[in-house]
Chain A
Amino acid sequence: MNALKQKDLILYSGLIILGLAAPFLFSAFKVQLTYLCVLIVLAMTWNLQGGEMGYNSFGNILFYGLGMYLTSSVQVGMFFPLAEWTESGGEKTFVHTTAQYFQGIGVGLLVAAIIPTIVAGAIGYAILGLRGHYFAICTLGLGIAAGEIAGGIEIIGAGQGFTTPPFPAEIIDPEARGQFFYFLSFVVLVLAFVFVKYIYGSRFRLILNAIRDNEDKAEAMGIQTMKYKIVGWMCSAFFCGLAGGIMGGLIGYIDSTDVAFDGREMGVFMVLMAILGGKGTLWGPIIGATLFHFLKEGLWTFILGWQYVALGVLIVVIVVYFPEGLMGWLREKYPERFGEVIDEKDRKAQVELK
Chain B
Amino acid sequence: MNKIVKLFITSISAITLALVSFTSSFAKVDGEYIVLGSAISLTGKYSSNGVHTQNGYNMAVDRINKMGGVKVGGKSYKFEIIYYDDESNPKRAAQLAERLIKQDGVHYMLGPYSSGLTKAIAPVTEKYKIPMVEANGASRSLFTKGYKYLFAVLSPANQYLEVAIDLAVEKNGGKPVRIAQAFEQDAFSQDVRLGILDAAKRTGSEIIIDDKLPKELNDMAATLAKVKATKPDVLVVSGHTKGALTAIRQISEMKVDVPMLAMTHCDAAKLSKQHGKNSEYALCASQWHKNLSYKDKFFGSGKKYDKDFKKEFGYAPPYQSAESSAALLVFKDAFERANSFDRDKVRDALVDTEMQTFYGNIKFGPGGQNVAKPMILFQVRCKGDTCENKVVAPTKWASDKFYHPIPKWSERG
Which A positions have Cβ atoms within 8 angstroms of B?
4, 7, 11, 14, 18, 25-32, 35, 88-91, 93, 148, 151-152, 158-161, 163, 166-167, 174, 177-178, 247, 250-253, 255-259, 262, 265, 287, 294, 300-301, 304-305, 307-308, 330, 334, 337-339
13 contacts between A and B (CB under 8 A): A7-B5, A11-B9, A18-B12, A25-B16, A28-B25, A32-B99, A159-B189, A160-B187, A160-B190, A253-B120, A287-B8, A300-B85, A304-B84
A28 to B21, CA, bound (A): 12
Please give, as numbers and ranges, the residues of chain B lying within 8 Å of A174 by CB-CB distance. 127-129
The docked-state distance in angstroms from the alpha carbon of A339 to that of B4 is 12
How would residues 88 to 115 of chain B score, 1 for a CB under 8 Å from any chain A CB and 0 otherwise?
1111001100110011000000000000
Residues of A contacting B116 in the complex (Cβ-Cβ under 8 angstroms): 161, 253, 255, 258
A75 to chain B, nearest CB (A): 15
14 further interface pairs, Cβ-Cβ under 8 Å (given A11-B9, A32-B95, A262-B89):
A4-B1, A28-B25, A31-B102, A32-B99, A88-B187, A152-B212, A252-B123, A253-B119, A255-B91, A258-B89, A259-B89, A305-B42, A305-B43, A339-B1
Shortest beta-carbon distance, B97 to chain A, in Å?
A: 9
Chain B contacts of A151 at CB under 8 A? 185, 212, 214
- B73 within 8 Å of A by Cβ? no
Determine whether the beta carbon of B90 is less than 8 Å from that of A166.
no
B347 within 8 A of A: no
What 10 A-B pairs are tightest by C-beta distance, nearest first? A159-B185, A89-B140, A252-B123, A253-B120, A28-B102, A31-B98, A151-B185, A159-B190, A259-B91, A89-B141
B19 CB to nearest chain A CB (Å): 5
Q: Nearest Cβ in chain B — how far from A16, in angstroms? A: 13
B16 and A18 contact, CB distance less than 8 A? yes
Expressed in whole angstroms, the Cα–Cα distance for A334 and B1 within the complex equals 10
The answer to whether B191 and A89 have CB atoms under 8 Å apart is yes
Tell whether, in the assembled complex, residue B128 and residue A253 are in contact, meaning their CB atoms are under 8 Å apart.
Answer: no
A148 in contact with B103 given A88-B190, A300-B85 (CB within 8 Å): no
CB-contact partner of B141 in A18, A88, A301, under 8 A: A88
Q: What 0/1 readout, one digit per residue, does chain B (195-219) give for beta carbons within 8 Å of chain A?
A: 0000000000000000010110000
The answer to whether residues A251 and B145 also contact, given A25-B20, A160-B187 and a CB cut-off of 8 A, is no
Once the chains are docked, how many angstroms separate the CA of A339 from the CA of B1? 8
Residue of B whose beta carbon sits closest to that of A21? B16
Rounded to whole angstroms, the CA-CA distance of A307 and B89 in the bound complex is 14
Q: How many residues in B have their beta carbons less than 8 Å from beta carbons of A?
A: 58
Shortest Cβ gap from A293 to chain B (Å): 11
Chain A nearest CB: distance from B357 CB in Å? 27
- Asked if residues A257 and B215 are in contact (CB atoms below 8 Å), the reply is yes
Residue of B nearest to A257 (CB): B215
**A177 contacts B215, C-beta separation under 8 Å:** no
Among residues of B, the one whose C-beta sits closest to the C-beta of A25 is B20
- Supposing A88-B194, A252-B94, A255-B116 touch, asked if A29 and B158 sit within 8 A by C-beta, the answer is no
Residues of B within 8 A of A300 (CB): 84-85
Chain B neighbourhood of A7, CB < 8 A = 1-2, 5
Expressed in whole angstroms, the minimum distance between the Cβ of A167 and any Cβ of chain B is 7
Q: Give the contacting residue for B186; candidates A18, A152, A159, A250; CB below 8 A.
A: A159
The residues of B that contact A338 with a CB separation of less than 8 Å are 1
Q: Are A161 and B119 in contact (CB under 8 A)?
A: yes
A residues near B89, Cβ cutoff 8 Å: 258-259, 262, 265
Could you tell me if B187 and A337 are in contact, using CB atoms closer than 8 angstroms? no
Max chain A Cβ within 10 angstroms of own Cβ: one of B9, B141, B158? B141
Closest B residue to A248 by CB, please name it: B91
Shortest A37–chain B CB gap in Å is 14
Question: Closest Cβ of chain A: how far from B259's Cβ, in Å?
Answer: 28
A307→B85 contact, CB < 8 A: yes
* A259 and B145 form a contact (CB under 8 A): no
Q: Is the CB of B139 within 8 A of A93?
A: no
- Whether A163 touches B145, Cβ cut-off 8 Å, given contacts A28-B25, A174-B128, is yes
Within the assembled complex, what's the spacing in Å between the Cα atoms of A45 and B344? Answer: 45
Complex alpha-carbon distance, A89 and B193, angstroms = 11
Q: Which residue of B lies closest to A22 (CB)?
A: B16
Q: Check B215–A28 contact: CB distance below 8 A.
A: no
Distance in angstroms from B244 CB to nearest chain A CB is 18
Which of A252, A256, A308 neighbours the largest number of chain B CB atoms within 10 Å of its CB? A252
A27 to B101, CA, bound (A): 12
Are A160 and B191 in contact, CB atoms less than 8 angstroms apart?
yes
B144 contacts A by Cβ under 8 Å: yes
How near does chain B come to A91, taking the closest CB pair, in angstroms?
A: 6
Question: Are A29 and B190 in contact, with the CB atoms below 8 A?
Answer: no
Q: Tell me, rounded to whole Å, the shortest Cβ–Cβ distance linking A342 to chain B.
A: 16
CA distance A308 to B214 in the complex (A): 23
Chain B residues near A253 (CB-CB < 8 A): 90, 94, 116, 119-120, 123
In the complex the two chains form, what is the Cα distance from A117 to B203 in whole Å?
Answer: 49
Question: Are B4 and A337 in touch, CB under 8 angstroms?
Answer: yes
Cβ of B167 within 8 Å of any chain A Cβ, yes or no, is no
Min distance, Cβ A274 to any Cβ of chain B, angstroms:
18
Interface centre among B23, B91, B103, B141 (most CB of A within 10 A): B91
> Measured between alpha carbons, how far is A177 from B2 in the docked complex, in Å?
38
Q: Check if B398 is an interface residue, CB within 8 A of chain A.
A: no
Q: How far is the CA of A253 from the CA of B89 in the complex (A)?
A: 11
Q: CB-nearest residue of chain B relative to A91?
A: B144
A31 to chain B, nearest CB (A): 4
Once the chains bind, are A159 and B187 in contact (CB under 8 Å)?
yes
Q: Do the beta carbons of A251 and B190 come within 8 Å of each other?
A: no
**What's the Cα separation between A145 and B163 when bound, in Å?**
36
Chain B CB within 10 A, most for which of A93, A250, A259? A259
Pair B90/A167 contact, Cβ less than 8 Å: no
Residues of A within 8 A of B120 (CB): 251-253, 255, 259
Separation of A148 and B215 alpha carbons in the complex (Å)? 10
Question: Closest CB-CB distance, B185 to chain A, in whole Å?
Answer: 3
Q: How far is the CB of B57 from chain A (nearest CB, A)?
A: 15
Contact between chains at A27 and B23 (CB < 8 Å): yes
Q: How far is the CA of A4 from the CA of B90 in the complex (A)?
A: 45
> Do B43 and A28 touch across chains, with their CB atoms under 8 A apart?
no
The yes or no answer to B15 lying at the interface (CB within 8 A) is: yes
Do residues B84 and A301 form an inter-chain contact, with CB atoms below 8 A?
yes
CA distance A93 to B143 in the complex (A): 11
Which residues from B are CB-within-8-Å of A166?
123, 126-127
Q: A159-B212, A253-B120, A304-B83 are in contact. Are A88 and B23 (CB under 8 A)?
A: no
Q: How far is the CA of A93 from the CA of B367 in the complex (A)?
A: 12
Q: Provide the bound-state CA to CA distance between A255 and B215, in Å.
A: 11
Shortest distance in angstroms between A185's beta carbon and chain B's nearest beta carbon? 14
CB distance from A107 to the nearest CB of B (A): 22
Q: Which of B132-153 contact A (CB under 8 A)?
A: 139-141, 144-146
For the complex, what is the distance from the CA of A161 to the CA of B128, rounded to whole Å?
23
Q: Which residues of A contact B267 (CB under 8 A)?
A: none
Least distance between B411 CB and chain A CB atoms (Å): 37
Could you say which residues of chain A place their CB within 8 Å of the CB of B212? 151-152, 158-159
